[in-house]
Amino acid sequence: MKKLINFALILALLPVLLMTSCKKDEPEAVNAYQTLKTYMVTNTLDLPDLAKNWIVDPKSTNMGGIVDSVTSTIPGYHVFDIRPAADFATGHIKNAINVALKDVVTTAENYTDKPILVVCFTGQTAGQAVMALRLSGFANAVVLKWGMAGWNSAFKAKWTDNCGYETSANGNLAVGSANWVTSAAPAAGSFDEPVWTSNSTDGAAILKERVQAVLDAGFTTAAASEVLANPSGFQIHNYWPVADYTTFGHFSGAYNTPVIALAGDLVKTIDPSKDAIVYCYTGQTSSIATFWLNVLGYKAKGVGFGANRLVYDQLKAAGKAVYKGPKNWAVVTD
């Protein structure tokens, strides 16, 4: 009889014991965003830390630049050309390696003896690749300023069709538009953090996962004409110094956001529930910023060609960054 009572007691307690055992085996839920944020701050991966010395101009070595003027090579760097293979075949920098955007990090693991310089058509997609590399430990990765359009005249159309270098109308879309204004900035908001899940639980693994996901998604920009036609359809952030916000004008309703950072929760001025537009002078700086934001779970795009597409003549007159034509270094096709 005693044995039957003991057996009945075990049966009664079995569900409780099983539930307790399962709970012990289940991993604790992790706030993926907070885990990633903590890891990035601890490891000096905040945007202001990464957005330093990230771009180089293709001047010759004897002018303090990076190019060997005799060979038209860039001997101090491994050159990753991330244009499609067909475009690479039409002409590229001697010794450059053709690498797909999605593969820049895994490829870089085989080229660690020199820093990496990333080349694209205009210097904008390269910003995405360089931010991916810097977040992945390649701290000296840099963008070739103006891309192949700044290297050789055969490729200049990517810039000349989208700025005022040759044709004023191509670079002054905002001039005379009612949606390009010089009014004071609206007060910055403060929004909740992005919410998303991860297959990983530690910061380093989450970062690796997120970087590759953003690379796999590819790079797109918002057309300046689209944003100009309907600025209220976006949350827009003017990523310029404060003084330039009213000097050169801005999209109607755009926030003045000269600093985007995890430090001080400055990143919370961006609403993760909306499509965020972050724009700069050339589209190059905003490309590195938007990649960083998308890794954190925001939905961010830059404006293609930046203010070079909108108010080129104003920027040029003020000595700001504008496309000024190619250097005409040699290219190869082998």
Report yes or no on 29 lying in a domain.
Answer: no
- One domain, residues 187 and 289: yes
Confidence check: pLDDT of 2 > 70: no
Tokens for 265?
């929760």
- One domain, residues 45 and 85: yes
- One domain, residues 176 and 306: yes
Report yes or no on 141 lying in a domain.
Answer: yes
Per-residue confidence at 16, pLDDT binned at 50, 70, 90? very low
| pLDDT at residue 4 in the model | 47
- One domain, residues 144 and 205: no
- Cβ(95)–Cβ(78) below 8 Å: no
Domain count, the chain: 2
Report yes or no on 9 lying in a domain.
Answer: no
Q: Among 105, 139, 160, give the residue marking a domain's end.
A: 160
Distance from chain centroid for Cα 18: 48
- Cβ(311)–Cβ(172) below 8 Å: yes
Residue with tokens 């879309």: 173
- One domain, residues 191 and 108: no
- One domain, residues 135 and 177: no
Report yes or no on 27 lying in a domain.
Answer: no
Say which CATH number the domain at 309 has. Answer: 3.40.250.10
Report yes or no on 25 lying in a domain.
Answer: no
- One domain, residues 271 and 290: yes
The percent of residues in the chain predicted with pLDDT above 70, rounded, is 91
Give the domain range for residue 126: 41-160
Distance separating alpha carbons of residues 158 and 160, to the nearest angstrom: 6
Q: Among 160, 187, 206, give the residue marking a domain's end.
A: 160
| pLDDT at residue 41 in the model | 98
The mean per-residue pLDDT over the stretch 32-55 comes to 97
Residue with tokens 């200049």: 156
- Cβ(99)–Cβ(119) below 8 Å: no
Among 55-59, 97-101, 222-226, 309-313, the range scoring the smallest mean pLDDT is 55-59
- Cβ(297)–Cβ(151) below 8 Å: no
- One domain, residues 185 and 129: no
What DSSP string runs through 96-119?
A: -EE--GGGHHHHHTT--SS-EEEE
Q: Among 160, 191, 220, give the residue marking a domain's end.
A: 160
262-287: pLDDT as tens digits: 999 999 999 999 999 999 999 999 99
- One domain, residues 102 and 139: yes
87-91: long-range contacts at Cβ-Cβ below 8 A with a sequence spacing of 24 or more? 87/121, 89/333, 90/154, 90/333, 91/148, 91/152, 91/154, 91/155, 91/331, 91/332, 91/333
Report yes or no on 130 lying in a domain.
Answer: yes
Report yes or no on 325 lying in a domain.
Answer: no
Per-residue confidence at 5, pLDDT binned at 50, 70, 90? very low
The percent of residues in the chain predicted with pLDDT above 90, rounded, is 89
| pLDDT at residue 29 in the model | 54
- One domain, residues 179 and 231: yes
83-124: pLDDT as tens digits: 999 999 999 999 999 999 999 999 999 999 999 999 999 999
- One domain, residues 140 and 193: no
Distance separating alpha carbons of residues 245 and 151, to the nearest angstrom: 31
- One domain, residues 114 and 199: no
Confidence check: pLDDT of 253 > 50: yes
Report yes or no on 16 lying in a domain.
Answer: no
